Amino acid sequence: MRSTTLDTLIWVLVFGGLLVFSVGLFVPDARPGLQLLLMGGGAVSAAAGVVLVAVRARRSD
């Protein structure tokens, strides 16, 4: 995978995940399943982006 592609994927995962997580914070408590799904999915996405940051830092190219 090229460095530019990896960088783009990192940006999308981290900031997209944080955006989805924050939307989950504002979903009314009347929909707890949706709220949990949004917050969990956003957190997992942001965490995957952080892992890719570590992978990118360890690459030699």
CB 47 within 8 A of CB 32: no
Q: How many CB atoms lie within 10 A of CB 44?
A: 14
- Averaged pLDDT, 26-30: 83
Question: Helix crossing, 3-25 with 32-58: angle to 10°?
Answer: 160
Percent of the chain at pLDDT exceeding 90: 74
Residue 30: the pLDDT is 78
3-state secondary structure the chain: CCHHHHHHHHHHHHHHHHHHHHHHHCCCCCCHHHHHHHHHHHHHHHHHHHHHHHHHHHCCC
Question: Could you state, in order of their start, the residue ranges of all structural domains in the chain?
Answer: 3-58
